[in-house]
Chains A and B, each alone.
Chain A
Amino acid sequence: MRLWGPTMAIDVTTVRLGLGGFFGVLDTELRRWLGRRGLFHLVLWVAGINGFVYFVVATGNKPFGSLGYENLLNALMVFPVFAGIILAEATVVGEYRSGIAAWLVSKPVARGGYVAAKLTGLWIGLSVAAVLIPGLVANWWLPQVTPYRFVIPDAPVFGRFLIALGATMVVLGFFISLTGLLGVLIRRRGPVALIAMVLWLVLRFAPSQIRPSWYRYLPTGLMKADLDLNGWIPGMEYIHGNPFDPASAVWATAATAVVFVAGAMLLYRRLEL
């Protein structure tokens, strides 16, 4: 008895974009994040990030709130991004080498759809479990231990905080997609993560003297001190005489991430599985 027709419901738009099967693979990935994997990450990241911030607050000598938020945003910009690099490498290179990628693309799934769905699923899962929820938990208890609030002029307090978390997620997406592209190019675990981490260090610690004028369009602006309280005040941060524009940096970083994913999709089509 035939339960469903094999040629039914192939979405023309996703096929044209080389994304056929995207939603099927994404569904599978998100189910993992809604299960034990998600729970494990959630507990790990909520405890880890908040424990780290509490440790800094309890042992620091600055005003509690300022120190807490500053370190919260820095921690969210470091640890989840490194985890994202390692998990993206495990997904792209690990599944290619183990044969799981071959299994999935032997189904009605385009290679582009497979790569895009895997990276998107990882980004969504890690963003929620390692950035958004730990950040919100910290935002709940930090003001309780200090009168200082996360204040940025011209914006609602909580809204600005959410924007900061959103910018962190964009940077996470940038490094996940970069690692995905490197994984498709190099296909060896170890070197892929190493290159991505070195790039993170270069972008994070590049001295301001050598930053080119297009610096503001790289995730560097979002990664460095710009994400702390002062950095988000327009006009406070100048690069080569130009004020740093966080909105441009967010859009440019997001666009670069999309380009990396598109590159990974194109290159994956040429792999022998």
Chain B
Amino acid sequence: MTVPAIEIRQLKKRYRKVEALRGLDLTVEAGSVCGFLGPNGAGKTTTMKILMGLIMPTSGWAAVNGIDVRGSGLLARSHIGYLPQDPVFPSHQTVRDVVATAGRLYPGHPHGSALRRRVDELVDRVGMTDKAKRRMAGLSGGERQRVGVAQALIGDPDLVILDEPSAGLDPTGRRDMLDLIEETRTEATVFYSTHILNDVEQVSDTVAMISRGAIVAQGDIDEILTVSDTDYAVRLRGDTNALHARLADEPWVKSINARRHGEIEDWVVRLSDESAIQRLAPALVDGDGHDIIEFHLSEGRLEDAYLALVGSDHGD
């Protein structure tokens, strides 16, 4: 049996009055690319920081490759390459220096020309060869992010943890980051957090969704996207409050998860059973102040699944 790359059981973290993680359970299989999805403040960064030993959990257990991250943190971290959210590196160091510095911190690292070759190879891989001698202070956010990936890979890790790797990148940068994740999957398990559902669909084979400090869904992306006969996608415009309140009170409506984009509001309405569609359709057209733009069975898009599971929760 293969040891999971990440195994987390009943992980809790409390910051004074805020409960950031509420008994989180998560398993990431070795060799997979796992997208960690959730709204701001859901607990993604907290989970990753606990795995990296940067913060201590209040209770619970977490392991990387079967190694307890609290009891044997040093050994666990020797298996991990980590890109933090908003990475900060010494501003006086050049791109090459940062990657080499990270490399020297791994036990048994190569020295001299072997280390230089490895650094150059990674700098090239992230597309920073022409800026290899530039100081970090002069780089853009996207360039720092690329250097962050290179320094995460320098220790030749079994597991790469990337916290919001494509945040703040332009479309080209985002595409390059996805390509890098795609390339990395051949040599390591990748566990990365993101808000961008489209990215997850493109490169992940498993997904874990977190909301308010607990996992609400995890598994193969195909399973998550399985079409349910009771989930309906509705796109509306205008004042939807009255309609939302009325439907939420109906016993045949299990949940309504909403997300607003400007004038438009997307709902995923989960019904108690398939026959309830006969009640939903007339109920939607009833009432003033809103227009129905689209109404159909949920198509198994990740966005619909995300809305259904996480909904309009925007964290704490």
Q: Is the CB of A10 within 8 A of B78?
A: yes
Contact with B along A97-110 (1 / 0, CB 8 A): 01110111111111
Contact with A along B23-62 (1 / 0, CB 8 A): 0000000000000000000000000010011111000000
Provide the bound-state CA to CA distance between A99 and B86, in Å: 9
Q: Is the CB of A99 within 8 A of B54?
A: no
Contact with B along A1-33 (1 / 0, CB 8 A): 011111111110001000011001101100000
Q: Is the CB of B105 within 8 A of A104?
A: yes
A44 on interface, CB distance cutoff 8 Å? no
A154 on interface, CB distance cutoff 8 Å? no
Contact with A along B67-110 (1 / 0, CB 8 A): 00000011101111010101111101000000001101111111
B245 on interface, CB distance cutoff 8 Å? no
In the complex, what residues of B have CB within 8 A of residue A100's CB? 88-90
Contact partner of A98 (CB less than 8 A), chosen from B77, B88, B114, is B88
A-B pair count, CB < 8 Å, reads 97
Q: Is the CB of A7 within 8 A of B55?
A: no
Q: Is the CB of A7 within 8 A of B106?
A: no
B156 on interface, CB distance cutoff 8 Å? yes
Q: Is the CB of A102 within 8 A of B54?
A: yes
Contact with B along A125-162 (1 / 0, CB 8 A): 00000000000000000000000000000000000000
User: Which of A2, A27, A102 has the largest number of chain B CB atoms within 10 A?
Assistant: A102
Knowing A3-B110, A3-B118, A108-B74, say if A103 contacts B157 (CB, 8 Å).
Answer: no
Q: Is the CB of A272 within 8 A of B102?
A: no
Q: Is the CB of A24 within 8 A of B104?
A: yes
B165 on interface, CB distance cutoff 8 Å? no
Contact partner of B53 (CB less than 8 A), chosen from A10, A11, A28, A105, is A105
Distance between A232 CB and nearest chain B CB, rounded to angstroms: 40
Provide the bound-state CA to CA distance between A272 and B45, in Å: 13
Q: Is the CB of B84 within 8 A of A106?
A: yes
Q: Is the CB of B84 within 8 A of A6?
A: no
B304 on interface, CB distance cutoff 8 Å? no
Closest to A27 in B: B104
Q: Is the CB of A107 within 8 A of B106?
A: yes
In the complex, what residues of A have CB within 8 A of residue B231's CB? none
Contact partner of B109 (CB less than 8 A), chosen from A2, A4, A25, A272, is A4
Knowing A24-B105, A25-B105, say if A106 contacts B88 (CB, 8 Å).
Answer: no
Q: Is the CB of B156 within 8 A of A4?
A: yes
In the complex, what residues of A have CB within 8 A of residue B89's CB? 100, 103
Q: Is the CB of A2 within 8 A of B156?
A: yes
In the complex, what residues of B have CB within 8 A of residue A24's CB? 104-106, 109
| Band of interface residues on A | 20 to 34
Contact with B along A24-47 (1 / 0, CB 8 A): 110110000000010000000000
Provide the bound-state CA to CA distance between A272 and B118, in Å: 32
Residues 55-109 of A contacting B (Cβ, < 8 Å): 98-100, 102-109
A273 on interface, CB distance cutoff 8 Å? yes
Distance between A128 CB and nearest chain B CB, rounded to angstroms: 20
In the complex, what residues of A have CB within 8 A of residue B118's CB? 3
Q: Is the CB of B156 within 8 A of A6?
A: yes
Contact partner of B84 (CB less than 8 A), chosen from A8, A21, A103, is A103
Closest to A23 in B: B104
Q: Is the CB of B88 within 8 A of A20?
A: no
Provide the bound-state CA to CA distance between A107 and B110, in Å: 16
Distance between B44 CB and nearest chain A CB, rounded to angstroms: 16
Knowing A106-B52, A107-B102, say if A99 contacts B84 (CB, 8 Å).
Answer: yes
In the complex, what residues of A have CB within 8 A of residue B156's CB? 2-4, 6
In the complex, what residues of A have CB within 8 A of residue B56's CB? 270, 272
B158 on interface, CB distance cutoff 8 Å? yes
Residues 245-283 of B contacting A (Cβ, < 8 Å): none
| Listed A/B pairs (17) with beta-carbon separation below 8 Å | A3-B118, A6-B157, A7-B75, A10-B74, A20-B74, A21-B105, A24-B104, A24-B109, A28-B101, A98-B88, A99-B87, A100-B90, A106-B84, A107-B77, A107-B105, A108-B105, A273-B54
Query: Contact residues of A with B, CB < 8 Å?
Result: 2-11, 15, 20-21, 24-25, 27-28, 37, 98-100, 102-110, 270, 272-273
Q: Lowest 4 A-B CB distances belong to which pairs?
A: A8-B108, A9-B108, A99-B88, A107-B105
Given A21-B74, A100-B88, A106-B80, 18 more contacts at CB 8 Å? A3-B156, A4-B106, A4-B156, A6-B79, A6-B107, A7-B78, A7-B107, A10-B78, A15-B74, A100-B90, A102-B84, A103-B89, A104-B105, A106-B52, A106-B53, A106-B54, A108-B74, A273-B49
